[in-house]
Each structure stands twice: as C-alpha cells, then as structure tokens.
Amino acid sequence: MAKPLFRGVCASSVTPFHPDGSLWLERLQPHIDWLIGEGVNAISPLGSSGEFPALECDDRRRVLEAAIQAV
C-alpha cells in the first residue's frame, strides 16, 4: 500500500463577500488565521463547489493570491 501524500484535516475556506456581492478579501486573512488556530493542516480556497464556478478568472486569482498571502 502506498504511503498517503497528505494526512490531517483539509478545510474548505469560505470566500467572503460584501453585501453588494463584491469580494471582501480583507476578511479572508482572519478566517484563515482562525482555521489554522483550530488545527487544520491544509486549506482549500475556491474548492470545486460554492463560489468557484460563480467567479470570473480574475476574481479567482485575487482570492488565491490573498489566501497565499494569509499563510
């Protein structure tokens, strides 16, 4: 049996939005800090459901860049 490449908890992070529907990237850092504080081993921003299909490519890139900066 092959050794697993990853062990632990991988959390799907939420993508924060302002009430008007625009990205609220300033709220992503505190959310990721909280996930890390709770002991997650990996974070999956923009998973395969939820916000991902609804966002334009540029907005996806902005979310990923903000998530990378957060960790």
pLDDT in tens, 56-66: 999 999 999 99
DSSP state of 47: -
Residue 47 is predicted with a pLDDT of 76
C-alpha 62/C-alpha 23 separation (Å) is 9
pTM of the model: 0.82
The number of helices, as runs of H, and strands, as runs of E, in the chain is 2, 2
Q: Tokens for 44? A: 């999956």
Name the nearest CA neighbour of 14 among 38, 42, 57, 44.
44
C-alpha 21/C-alpha 38 separation (Å) is 28
pLDDT in tens, 9-49: 999 888 999 999 999 999 999 999 999 999 999 999 987 66
